[in-house]
Chains A and B, each alone.
Chain A
Amino acid sequence: MKPAKEIRVGNIIMVDEKPFIVLRSDVNGSSRTGFTYKWKMKNLLTNAPLENVFRGDDKFDVVVLDKKPVTYSYFADPLYVFMDEEYNQFEIEEENLGDALHYLKDGMACEAVFYDGKAISVELPTTIARQVVYSEPAVKGNTSGNVLKEAKIENAIEAHQHIVMVPLFVSQDDTIEIDTRTNEYKRVVRN
């Protein structure tokens, strides 16, 4: 058991017998009884996000989850199938994949996260590279400040095609790096 004041972003805690990942923690002071911890959390079983507030002394079970390298294989409606190095297949529900759906690509490497023996989610690398499949050409003269435009990136599932805001100099067929924590453009990959 750990008190709230010792729990960090990324820790997985049990609340009401369900695993939650702490996505963000805002610590607010000056309450006479100590600090107040406002957490953005996600239920790892349902992917449902929620905000909760706790006292620093509230105690939680912290869980260490198993992870295993896998690759994305195929979509078997309504489940997404991943495979490990021994060709074992793991099916994961769409709602548990969250933002990972934007980046799924055949053969893509990621880590499956297991809770109670069941694959419940995947973790992506912090940075991934994807090709821009469509983006309007930059309009001449429209170059001041941090002007951005939309870019569609390649992925496996058309319904989850993702739009990333990119600088004007990014062109169709460029490969860009994206931060999967923020879903934001990082840079163009030049060969």
Chain B
Amino acid sequence: MSASPLTLAIFCKVVDNYGDIGICWRLARQLQREHGVAVTLWVDDLASFRRICPAVDTDKAGQVVENVAVRHWRGQDDDYAPGDIADIVIEFFACDIPPRYIEAMTQRMPRPVWLNLEGLTAEDWVEGCHRLPSMHPRLKLTKHFFFPGFTAQTGGLLREAGLEEERQRFLGQPGQARDFLRGLGLPDAEIDALKVSLFCYPHAPVAALFAAWQHGSEKLTCLVPEGVAAEAVAAFLGAPAGAGAVATRGALTVRVLPFVPQPDYDRLLWACDLNFVRGEDSWVRAQWAGKPFVWHIYPQDENLHHKKLKAFLNRYAADIASLQDVMLHWNGALATAADWPALWSALQADRDRIEARSSEWQARMLANGDLASNLLVFAASLR
């Protein structure tokens, strides 16, 4: 008789439409597939989940998707028994776990390992808080903070074991990227142009960037998921920005893509020459894609996100001024007006250096291990 698998519950509250569930879903699948953990993913927004994983049925309170138990987290008032509690409980991004789930955690023996999986930041303070305990003020429970990050003193980055092999296979077989892009509706002329994927928050200066590309000397295809930068895209198209809509003005072709499942988004990042990404999930995937990328960070009050952006740039591109300038202007982190044609031109001039940096960075990040494995090792040390 085999031992029961380790059980793990992830609580995910969706705030940033696809990033939260994107990270949790990747983590859940990886823990199940690579480590044999029986994972239950509690998520409050099944509709967002369905956009990145079409197999999800938004009407079901409970279902199994790719061997992960998915439960609709409907609110804070449900009752839970000690038998409902997993061996490891993860609150993602410090979301509030239902109070009666926490009460049941105190009654379960042995007590579960309780982790707050925090957001990714390159700031130094994370190393000092990673894995620290957080005693519950009233109950005999201790939570631990677990921070992803870019150094060996943090939890590392999410990365599936076979991701790099898969990417190499995709890029190593002539025609794979072309076939993939054709499948998204691109004709050869668009595939042969410089290809840029664009994923950003609505306040990004997309119109100004489009203008720079439109009047540039190099043919450029910009691929935008449906619903992203909808206003600027519709203005460029002169028509609603529905999936399949396309227009060419000057050197720029903008094409609206349907929202693709996570594995196809990886392929899109691999197939493009430059990726504009946003939030945390696509940002990390862009780093593993090994292609130049521009990050649009989730905005915070009092521009705290600018500090986070600068901390990352200090680690990633301290010596590449063009990339710094583009990312800072893209995020409104500089007081000076952005000259997008000049910014774009400088970025293009540094393309080789930036590509080399992408590869070096990957190698450095690989040395930190992967988040899911690091998390399980830490949980085991607490059990």
A40 CA / B282 CA spacing, docked (Å): 36
- In-complex Cβ contact of B119 among A32, A51, A61 (8 A): A32
Main secondary structure on A side of the interface with B: strand
Q: Does A31 contact B (CB under 8 A)?
A: yes
Of A22-30, A69-77, A171-179, the one with at least 4 CB within 8 A of chain B: A22-30
Q: Is B304 a contact partner of A28 (Cβ separation < 8 A)?
A: no
**Neighbouring B residues of A14 by C-beta, 8 Å:** 137-138
Q: Is B304 a contact partner of A30 (Cβ separation < 8 A)?
A: yes
Q: Does A60 contact B (CB under 8 A)?
A: yes
Q: Does A65 contact B (CB under 8 A)?
A: no
Q: Does B334 contact A (CB under 8 A)?
A: no
- In-complex Cβ contact of A58 among B95, B126, B134 (8 A): B134
Q: Does B128 contact A (CB under 8 A)?
A: yes
Asked, given contacts A15-B135, A15-B137, whether A28 binds B129 with beta carbons under 8 Å apart, the answer is: yes
Q: Is A30 a contact partner of B134 (Cβ separation < 8 A)?
A: no
Asked, given contacts A52-B135, A53-B134, whether A28 binds B300 with beta carbons under 8 Å apart, the answer is: no
**Neighbouring A residues of B136 by C-beta, 8 Å:** 15-16
Asked, given contacts A36-B145, A53-B129, A53-B145, whether A30 binds B135 with beta carbons under 8 Å apart, the answer is: no
Q: Does A152 contact B (CB under 8 A)?
A: no
Q: Does B185 contact A (CB under 8 A)?
A: no
Q: Does A5 contact B (CB under 8 A)?
A: no
Asked, given contacts A52-B135, A53-B132, whether A31 binds B140 with beta carbons under 8 Å apart, the answer is: no
**Neighbouring B residues of A31 by C-beta, 8 Å:** 93-94, 118-119, 121
Q: Is B307 a contact partner of A54 (Cβ separation < 8 A)?
A: no
**Neighbouring A residues of B138 by C-beta, 8 Å:** 14, 16-17
Residue contacts A-B, CB under 8 angstroms, 14 given: A14-B138, A15-B135, A16-B135, A30-B121, A30-B123, A30-B307, A33-B93, A33-B94, A33-B119, A38-B132, A52-B133, A53-B145, A55-B134, A58-B137
Q: Which B residues have a C-beta under 8 Å from some C-beta of A?
A: 15-16, 93-95, 116, 118-119, 121, 123, 125-126, 128-129, 132-140, 145, 298, 300, 304-305, 307-308
Closest 5 CB pairs of A and B: A33-B94, A53-B132, A28-B125, A30-B308, A30-B304
